[in-house]
Amino acid sequence: MFKFHALFAMAFGLSGAAFAFGQDDVGTTSAAFLKLGSGARPEAMGEAYVGVADDAAGIAFNPAGMALNLNGELAASHTVWFQGMSYENLNGIVSLGDGGMLGATFDFLSIPAIQRTVATGINNPNDPSQNYTVDGSFSPYDMQVAVAYARPLLPHLLGGANFKLINQDIDTQSTFGIALDLGLMWETPFKDLTAGLALQNMGTPIKLESEAFDLPFVVRAGTGFRTMGDRLLLSLEGDVPADNAPVVAAGAEYNIADRFYPRVGYRYNSIFNPWTMGFGLQYEEWGLDFSVVPYGELGTTYRAGINWRFGQPGATLKARMPYASTMGVGKDAVLDIEMNAPDKVQAWAIYIYDSGRPARVVRAFGGSGIPDPTVQWDGRLKDGKPAPEGVYWAILTSRYTTGQIVNSSYVRLEVTNTVPVVDLVVDKVSLNPAAPGEAFVPTAFRPVHKPGRGIAEWKLEILDPQGKVFRTLTGEGAMPEFLVWDGKGDLGDELTSAQVYSARLWVKDPLGAEGVSPVVSFKAVFR
Q: What is the pLDDT of residue 85?
A: 87
Q: What is the pLDDT of residue 11?
A: 34
Give yes or no for residue 14 having a pLDDT over 50.
no
What percent of the chain has a predicted confidence (pLDDT) above 90? 56
Q: pLDDT band for position 9 (50/70/90)?
A: very low
Give yes or no for residue 385 having a pLDDT over 60.
yes
* First and final C-alpha spacing in the chain: 114
Give yes or no for residue 10 having a pLDDT over 50.
no
CA distance 65 to 51: 8
CA distance 230 to 53: 16
CB 522 within 8 A of CB 439: yes
Q: What is the pLDDT of residue 36?
A: 87
Handedness of CA 142, 35, 41, 63 (dihedral sign): positive
CA distance 14 to 169: 15
- Over residues 415-429, the mean pLDDT reads 89
> pLDDT digits over 64-119, tens only?
999 888 889 999 999 998 778 899 999 999 988 767 899 999 999 988 877 777 77
CB 79 within 8 A of CB 303: yes
CB 294 within 8 A of CB 266: no
Give the global pTM: 0.62
Give yes or no for residue 216 having a pLDDT over 80.
yes
Give yes or no for residue 16 having a pLDDT over 60.
no
Q: What is the pLDDT of residue 243?
A: 83
Q: pLDDT band for position 522 (50/70/90)?
A: very high
Across 160-169, 202-211, 419-428, 485-494, least confident range: 202-211
- Over residues 240-261, the mean pLDDT reads 93
> pLDDT digits over 333-364, tens only?
999 998 877 877 888 999 999 999 899 999 99
> pLDDT digits over 396-414, tens only?
999 887 667 888 999 999 8
> pLDDT digits over 281-313, tens only?
999 889 999 999 988 778 889 999 999 988 777
Q: pLDDT band for position 451 (50/70/90)?
A: low
- Over residues 318-329, the mean pLDDT reads 85
Structural domains present in the chain? 4-310 (2.40.160.60), 315-415 (2.60.40.10), 422-526 (2.60.40.4070)
Give yes or no for residue 12 having a pLDDT over 60.
no
Give yes or no for residue 38 having a pLDDT over 80.
yes
Give yes or no for residue 511 having a pLDDT over 80.
no
392: CB partners within 8 A, 6+ apart: 352, 353, 354, 355, 362, 412, 413, 414, 415
Q: pLDDT band for position 499 (50/70/90)?
A: very high
- Over residues 456-470, the mean pLDDT reads 94
Q: What is the pLDDT of residue 2?
A: 35
